[in-house]
Amino acid sequence: MMKLLRLRTGILILLMLCVLPFTGCAVMKDKPAAEDLSLVMAGMDGSDGVSFEGAAALLVGGKAVPESSIYYGGKVADHNKISLYSLLPDGGHPASAAESGPHPLGQGPGEAPVYYTRLVKEDGTWTMKQGSPALAGSNPLEALNPLRQLEDLERLDKKVTEEAGSARGTRVLRIELTAEAARSQLSAELEREMQAIRPVAGSGAVTAAGTHAEALEAKTALWEQKQSELQQRLDQADIRTIYYLKVDPKRNLPARLTWNRTLTYLGKAGTTTEETYITQVDFYGYQ
């Protein structure tokens, strides 16, 4: 009887060992990757601060638009305060930039324009508290806030998988937004950008009351036209947004975040146009 019991026990263990690899593989395709993303986000929330450097560029028809490229760096402090500033392609600061304080907008011969902004999260919303004065609402750094990008990964509908072929000792998560989430994300960003440049009374040079009213009316009409054109293009575009999150396996913290967004739409001439917006940011110096 004991021999029979041992035999049955041995068979059960053998069956479990045979089945587990297959069930493990099935689970690994989805749930663990999503759980890893949650753990990484929790680790990021628990860190007091981090430094980062990144770059962003726009490609149209597969070709880079030179004036769209920007290199930037920054620091996160106290979980909800971020300072961002522009960098040169080699990682250095432009001649007139100073990391310790607000950067004036200065561009001498052969120099890159200097951008600076300081953001604070209040009541769940990121607000610009300080920035390059001459840029007004067009500061490109505000959209490059890496914490906002990571927050989007948490709240938006997505599919999370592990990227095959990752280097030994590293893990890369592939996060693709659903079509609806990708459109909603871009629509919200464009709305923020359009509202930032909306003409308001009192802006611009001081002129006679009648002249100023006419100028404001003309600017508002142009703004509304451009907003309508932008919304129409957005409604007709195919949007695909994919993130790649490289994870530091020892600390379960983000090491690199790459974000690719591709829009495909019909241009004015009826030809198909493809635009790809790419950002990549590296995190280091966690506190």
Alpha-carbon gap, residue 62 to 111, rounded angstroms: 27
- Cα dihedral 179, 182, 184, 185, rounded to 10, equals 170
The pLDDT of residue 172: 92
Alpha-carbon gap, residue 140 to 115, rounded angstroms: 8
DSSP 59-127: EETTEE-GGG-EEEEEEEETTTEEEEEEE-TTSPPPTT--TTSPPP----TTPPPP-EEEEEEETTEEE
Domain ranges of the chain: 50-182+240-284
Q: What share of the chain is helix, strand, coil (3-state, %, to 5)?
A: 40, 30, 30
The pLDDT of residue 17: 37
Q: Are strands 158-162 and 125-131 parallel, antiparallel or unpaired?
A: unpaired
Evaluate whether 97 touches 73 at the Cβ level (below 8 Å): no
Indicate the residue type of 196. Answer: A
pLDDT tens, residue by residue, 5-22: 343 434 333 333 333 333
Give kind and range of the element (H or E) at residue 9. helix 2-28
Evaluate whether 37 touches 160 at the Cβ level (below 8 Å): yes
pLDDT tens, residue by residue, 119-166: 999 888 888 887 665 455 567 888 899 999 998 888 899 999 988 766
Evaluate whether 36 touches 153 at the Cβ level (below 8 Å): no
Evaluate whether 259 touches 46 at the Cβ level (below 8 Å): no
pLDDT bucket at 81, cuts 50 / 70 / 90: very high
Evaluate whether 112 touches 82 at the Cβ level (below 8 Å): no
pLDDT bucket at 102, cuts 50 / 70 / 90: very low
